[in-house]
Structure 1
Amino acid sequence: MKLYVILLIIAAPQAFSRKNAEGRIREHVFNQPGYSPRERPVLNASDPVDVKLEVLIYAMVDLNEKDQTVTTASWITLTWRDERLTWDPNEFEGSDNVVVYFDEIWTPSIVLTHAMVLDGMQVVAADRGTIKLYYDGSVDLGGPYVQTTQCQMIIYYFPFDTQTCLLSFSPENQSTKDMNFTATTSPQPSNIVSNQWELLSFSAANYQVDVESHETLQTYQGAVFFFTLKRDPNYYITTIVIPSTLLCLMSFATFLAPPDSGERIGLGVSMVLGLTVFQLLVTNILPTASKNGPLISSYLTNTFVLSCLAVPFSLFNIIIAYGDSKISVLKRPRFRKLLLETLPRLLFLTTYRERVEEEFGIVSKDSDIVTMATVEELPTNKVQPMQTIPATISETLSYLEKRKLEARIVGLVMDRLVLLCFLIAYMIIVIIVVLKFRSLNDMIMVEITK
């Protein structure tokens, strides 16, 4: 018990002395004759107050492409010097700084000129930040600041886009004669708190504006902070690009199904319906703009159009393969050989001659002129004792059978040709989109280099 009393006696004077030191500093600086926190902190009334602004962005709260607004969380620091509030630390037990309150000291009136919320226009407020006063009159005002500002965005390259926004600050109705306002930048954090944005660059610029007021030319200063953000596209690739691509390619796969497949048209229609529902869901994800909409929207539209066109083309090929009308183009020998022999061979399909050999066991030397079939030309397993070998296909196959066989071959050829055309069209769309996004990447690298 005696030990506690001794420690209390030793510590009490030190605590009392520290408290008295801060109190005496306040009495020394704030109880000066004629001191007023409403007056500018200069001894010579003709001198301007030097105010420096520093901004550090530490989080991205929201970026609204539709409303063209950006909400950022930053740490704002204002520094200036109050020539009236000085003291010698040696006279106050080495205390070289003290925390003061907004109603005790002069503070600059700085506004965020393009703020979307009225309460966010005033940078200096009693509920925002802490003021620290140093022995030489230097004043630091720092605190967090969440602001929503306008930001002109270009969403053409969404989701591989970069956006450059700005924060514009200006003294409120104070010319350069009253305040010398400048902005400085500090090293920004390597990774800001955001789920899809990365801070690429951050810079500051000071400007002056001459305004004629009361027949005199007044100069006003301001500061603009530019920050460039890059979007992380991984989420949109997995939720938009990959599903739409797979649905489009699956709709092309209907051309690989045999024309006599009963589910062929049903599969194509199902793919179109699935892509339609997907488009409705994507509408809530894609940003909207009256001009220069996202490039990915045109990609989705083109894939949707190709998927829709696959259905009528598939139906047209089925009509060719199993329709009642005769294919008139086969009357010409050149087209007949092209469609029944040359193209099937190039497209890895069974030719007309091979089909005849497989189904009827008849050997022909050409697709449109059937030669005599001899025993030597037939496989040995096809030769039977005392069997009469037909001389030509026309003697074995009826007109209807030949027409159906020809239509079947032409239908398969058209399926492969249409599939090839659709794949080429899709690749052209992809190449155009990739080249445009590649040009964006080149522009970003040039800007970063600058």
Structure 2
Amino acid sequence: MARSQAAGFTASPLQLQLIICCLIMLSLLIKSAETINCSEPTTDALLTALKKNIFDKTEIRPVINLKTPTNISVSFTLYGIFDVDEKAQILNAFLWLNLGWNIEGLSWDPVECGTNRISLPRKQLWRPDVVINEFIDENKVPDTYYVYIENTGEVIDDLPIHVISSCNLDIYTFPFDIQNCSFTFNSYQHTIMDVQLSIGRPVEKSLEISLGVMTTKGEWELVDMLAQKHTIPPQEMNISRDTITYYIVLRRRATLYVVNLLIPSCFLITVDLFSFLLPPQNVDRSSFKMTLILGYTVFLLLMNDLLPVTGNTLPLINAFFSLCLALMVASLLETILIINIQCGSSNYGPLPRLAKVLFLNYLAKLVFLSKKPSDQNWDLEEHKTETHRCDPVVDTPPSKAVHNTTPTLQELRKISHELLSIRQQVDKHFKTDESADEWIHLGQVIDRLLFGIYIIFLSVTLLMKLAGTINCSEPTTDALLTALKDNIFGKTEVRPVIYPKTPTNISVSFTLYGILDVDEKAQLFDSYIWTYLMWNIEGLSWDPVECGTDRISLPRKQLWRPDVVINEFMDENKVPDTYYLYVKHTGQVMDDLPIHVISSCNMDIYTFPFDIQNCSFTFNSYKLFAVDVQLSFIEPVEKTLKNSLDVMQTKGEWELVTILAEKPTILPEDLNNNFDALIYYIVLRRRPTMYVVNLLIPSCFLITVDLFSFLLPPQNVDRSSFKMTLILGYTVFLLLMNDLLPVTGNTLPLINVFFSLCLALMVASLLETIIIINIQCGSSNYGPLPQWAKVFFLNYLAKLVFLSKKPSDQNCGPDEHRTETKPCDPVVDTPLSEAVHNTTPTLQELRKISHELLSIRQQVDKHFKTDESAEEWIHLGMRRVPRQDWTLEGLGVAMHDVLLVEQVDGDGVGGGGRGTTGGGTVTTGGGRGTTGAGGLEY
């Protein structure tokens, strides 16, 4: 019955009116408690009222109940983009930051107080510790002092910030790259239970305003701006910070790089492409290509400042330049090979059958190159001449031979003899046999084939706790703050312990947020870390229920702080200021600090660029001994490593490999004299890709060119100038890459030894080339080769390098000897009466012609033939270089006179002997006289 009456109870209208009146009165009382009353509508009256309400509350959040979170609205305007440093992975920008929050319990009547807002000094109010996580340097901007307070209690704070922030830059597509840098806003100390963030205005509006006010029109342009509010799981509310991330999308203006880098590089590679059209037999193409490579390295030297430097990813443009250089080196090596084939073809054996079929038949058709047909008329005439010359001479009867042997005929035969010798010399010098023609044609096919591959490759590339308890009068912020002021705010000078002999334990940890730079010369390690310190204030505690919260954030300057430092710190900590730390109800203090650490580090760069560095962070109290301050680890070092790898923002030249930690042991008797310490070891590894591509590979290219330059015949190509140009190109290359090499006086990097060795080899090869050229070009002026040199070089070393002296032409030896001696032998004149009788004007002219031809032939013999001593010196020179078949100063082919001589008797009648010389058939014999007039039959 009672239950039904209770369930059926209804309020009467009078009761409802009473309830409503009570609610209205309650709301009026609350409003009157929150509203500032001004005695008059003047600034002084409003300022006096504000001093009583907010000016004494700058240490804690402006809330009535500490469990109420403060909402901070965040927005900004990007005013300028100053610089993007790819190597340090840093974005340098200037922005206007807009923050807004409410002061609970603060309001005034705009009519009563004369204004709806007032500007006040920022230092008179509580300020949120909202920071940009990526900020790694000092905010170097002019100070601004004032904020606006609206009559509703809303605070509007605008701050200029010069942001030097870390940004993970990917320059693979440089100069057409688009970068996405982030600004992560969060409270540095307050968790989401105390401070919550919200986006102040739509991100599209921020982008529009930024584009309208941006003053910098440099290399980078703002493309887009995005924003994200991160969701935090409920179980992490007590430890996580509320964050808002803005993403700044930037695009590089590529015109400068296209005009100054890509287009000139394409010009030079095009010149190298068209250089294949230079005939190697007429133009020194090797020197042309070497000069082109030198010009390309000088071009890269001039444009070096425009190229990005980073060890994370290799920019595609660097790969393009390396590819261009590789193509130039490859074409130079191919040219050396072709010159070697074409200039030394006459000294090679027949072309192998496989090479004939593959190159001269199939590949020749593939590159549209067929063997040039011989001139039919010339071949026919030559065949006839050779056949006529080489056929056996049918002797005429003696009477007829005697009858036809007149002085005129004898002179004509002498002229014919000299002309035949000259022609044979010229034929041997300018004409190649079929084997040499095939080798030359092989070189042409390879040249044309590589030319086509070059074009195709370029086309494909371009299209890629407590002793006592604090009591709070009420669970409000003011009550807790009053209690804390009486207990800890006046004790910042001494350690927070009851007894001075009690040591304070400081727990230490850190997170490595960014690796900014490693300076090998100064032995400095530049990094950005977040440090975590925890300690207890003895005698401090409160009841979370009685005081309304289990922790409170307080200004760091109001509490005692440990003087824990990093021993290796070598410079000023240039980071944005953070103001607050947490004090828990148990008396535990949690302090987080950002530190830009520039620390000393003993670096060993012997194995550069494959080096691994081990830098240390030694945490200890700067002044307090171990008897007063003791250090311990907050978390295992494996957790420190994992956290660092998770939040690492820089992806530059160095990567974090591992973190190790140790705590040095201090003996009890040394506690009064030593500092307690914790040592962390940061193990870093250099990313070597950039150095391999830009240093080692090009150096190997150039030393390979120097190796292949031994194939250039010194008698056809000025090899000394080629090698000198190569050395000059190598020194320019080292000058170009000088900024990439480490500079230190501790140890000499192995790569420096490698470069010095390469240069020494080039210089040694140049000196060797000078000696060889001197021997081969001046051999005719030397005396006979010493016997010990003959035995040592021509017998033993020649076999060691698989080079034997080219044998003389066996078939030409006897006849050549006879031919050479023949012109110098006196000609036996006919009897005086016959000579006088046959001395006609025609005979006199023929004798003059014969005399001049004899002189010409002797000059030709002197030019084309070397003596045995000179040949030995030349052969000695060949022992010192890879095999080249040359035996003659300045021309590259040994010339031998091949003469067809016919001895006839005094009556001019030839005998019946037959000898073969150079493929011809000659009839020589023993006639009746041995001193008769010489004659030739052909």
Length-normalised TM-score, structure 1: 0.71
> Residues 78 and 141 of structure 1 are in contact (CA less than 8 Å); yes or no, is this contact kept in structure 2?
yes
Tell me the CA shift for residue 267 of structure 1.
Answer: 1.1
Cα deviation code 1:308-349 (max 9, x no counterpart): 1222212222333333335733979975994699759935x8
Does 2:129 align with 1:109?
Answer: yes
**2:693 alignment counterpart:** none
**2:219 alignment counterpart:** 196
> Residues 53 and 77 of structure 1 are in contact (CA less than 8 Å); yes or no, is this contact kept in structure 2?
yes
Tell me the CA shift for residue 43 of structure 1.
Answer: 4.0
- The sequence identity of aligned pairs, in percent, is 21
3-state DSSP of counterpart to 2:230: strand
3-state DSSP of counterpart to 2:248: strand
**1:356 alignment counterpart:** 375
Does 2:206 align with 1:187?
Answer: yes
Q: Residue 322 of structure 1 is aligned with which of 343, 354, 365?
A: 343
Structure 1 gaps of 5+ residues are 1-18, 363-369, 374-388, 433-450
CA pair 394-311 structure 1, distance change in 2 beyond 3 A: farther
**1:287 alignment counterpart:** 308
> Residues 210 and 220 of structure 1 are in contact (CA less than 8 Å); yes or no, is this contact kept in structure 2?
no
Letter paired with 2:156: D
Tell me the CA shift for residue 111 of structure 1.
Answer: 2.2
Q: Structure 1 CA distance, aligned partners of 2:364 and 2:387?
A: 25
Tell me the CA shift for residue 164 of structure 1.
Answer: 1.6
> Residues 322 and 407 of structure 1 are in contact (CA less than 8 Å); yes or no, is this contact kept in structure 2?
no
Superposed, 1:74-85 pairs within 5 Å as 74-85=95-106
Q: Structure 1 CA distance, aligned partners of 2:185 and 2:367?
A: 73
Decide which moves more: 413-422 or 108-117: 413-422
Tell me the CA shift for residue 183 of structure 1.
Answer: 3.0
Q: Structure 2 CA distance, aligned partners of 1:207 and 1:27?
A: 41
> Residues 178 and 250 of structure 2 are in contact (CA less than 8 Å); yes or no, is this contact kept in structure 1?
yes
**2:5 alignment counterpart:** none
Q: Structure 2 CA distance, aligned partners of 1:74 and 1:326?
A: 76
**2:463 alignment counterpart:** 431
Cα deviation code 1:78-130 (max 9, x no counterpart): 0112234422222244x32221111222221212223212x349xxx992464
3-state DSSP of counterpart to 1:83: coil
> Residues 340 and 352 of structure 1 are in contact (CA less than 8 Å); yes or no, is this contact kept in structure 2?
no
CA pair 101-344 structure 1, distance change in 2 beyond 3 A: closer
Does 2:325 align with 1:304?
Answer: yes
CA pair 333-239 structure 1, distance change in 2 beyond 3 A: closer
CA pair 393-270 structure 1, distance change in 2 beyond 3 A: farther
Q: Residue 431 of structure 2 is aligned with which of 370, 378, 401?
A: 401
Tell me the CA shift for residue 251 of structure 1.
Answer: 2.0
Superposed, 1:122-271 pairs within 5 Å as 127-128=143-144, 130-184=146-200, 185=203, 186-188=205-207, 189-190=210-211, 192=214, 193-207=216-230, 217-271=238-292
> Residues 155 and 292 of structure 1 are in contact (CA less than 8 Å); yes or no, is this contact kept in structure 2?
yes
Q: Structure 1 CA distance, aligned partners of 2:199 and 2:54?
A: 34
Structure 2 gaps of 5+ residues are 1-39, 389-423, 465-938
Cα deviation code 1:217-271 (max 9, x no counterpart): 4453122212222222222222222222222221232221122334422211101
Cα deviation code 1:342-386 (max 9, x no counterpart): 759935x8x623x637xxx54xxxxxxx7xx6xxxxxxxxxxxxx
Decide which moves more: 42-51 or 160-169: 42-51
CA pair 346-175 structure 1, distance change in 2 beyond 3 A: closer
Letter paired with 1:249: T
Q: Structure 2 CA distance, aligned partners of 1:333 and 1:356?
A: 25
Compute the RMSD of aligned alpha carbons.
3.9
Q: Residue 99 of structure 1 is aligned with which of 113, 119, 122?
A: 119
Tell me the CA shift for residue 423 of structure 1.
Answer: 1.7
Decide which moves more: 394-403 or 303-312: 394-403
3-state DSSP of counterpart to 1:72: strand
3-state DSSP of counterpart to 1:303: helix
Tell me the CA shift for residue 49 of structure 1.
Answer: 1.8
CA pair 29-278 structure 1, distance change in 2 beyond 3 A: same
Q: Residue 81 of structure 2 is aligned with which of 60, 64, 76?
A: 60
Decide which moves more: 69-78 or 234-243: 234-243
> Residues 327 and 407 of structure 1 are in contact (CA less than 8 Å); yes or no, is this contact kept in structure 2?
no
3-state DSSP of counterpart to 2:351: helix
Letter paired with 1:99: S
Decide which moves more: 268-277 or 107-116: 107-116
Q: Residue 452 of structure 2 is aligned with which of 415, 420, 444?
A: 420
3-state DSSP of counterpart to 2:306: coil
Letter paired with 1:127: D
**1:5 alignment counterpart:** none
Q: Structure 2 CA distance, aligned partners of 1:417 and 1:80?
A: 75
CA pair 328-102 structure 1, distance change in 2 beyond 3 A: same
Aligned residues: 377
Letter paired with 2:190: Q
3-state DSSP of counterpart to 1:346: coil
**1:40 alignment counterpart:** 61
Tell me the CA shift for residue 301 of structure 1.
Answer: 0.9
> Residues 210 and 217 of structure 1 are in contact (CA less than 8 Å); yes or no, is this contact kept in structure 2?
no
**1:4 alignment counterpart:** none
> Residues 329 and 336 of structure 1 are in contact (CA less than 8 Å); yes or no, is this contact kept in structure 2?
no
Cα deviation code 1:34-65 (max 9, x no counterpart): 95333432344442222111122222122111
> Residues 251 and 267 of structure 1 are in contact (CA less than 8 Å); yes or no, is this contact kept in structure 2?
no
Q: Structure 2 CA distance, aligned partners of 1:431 and 1:187?
A: 38
3-state DSSP of counterpart to 2:241: strand
Q: Structure 1 CA distance, aligned partners of 2:384 and 2:219?
A: 73
Length-normalised TM-score, structure 2: 0.36
**2:803 alignment counterpart:** none
**1:447 alignment counterpart:** none
CA pair 49-36 structure 1, distance change in 2 beyond 3 A: same
Cα deviation code 1:268-302 (max 9, x no counterpart): 11011112233344444332333431122111111
Letter paired with 1:97: R
> Residues 367 and 449 of structure 2 are in contact (CA less than 8 Å); yes or no, is this contact kept in structure 1?
no
Decide which moves more: 335-344 or 172-181: 335-344
CA pair 129-34 structure 1, distance change in 2 beyond 3 A: closer
CA pair 71-168 structure 1, distance change in 2 beyond 3 A: same
Tell me the CA shift for residue 76 of structure 1.
Answer: 0.6
Cα deviation code 1:420-446 (max 9, x no counterpart): 2222222233333xxxxxxxxxxxxxx
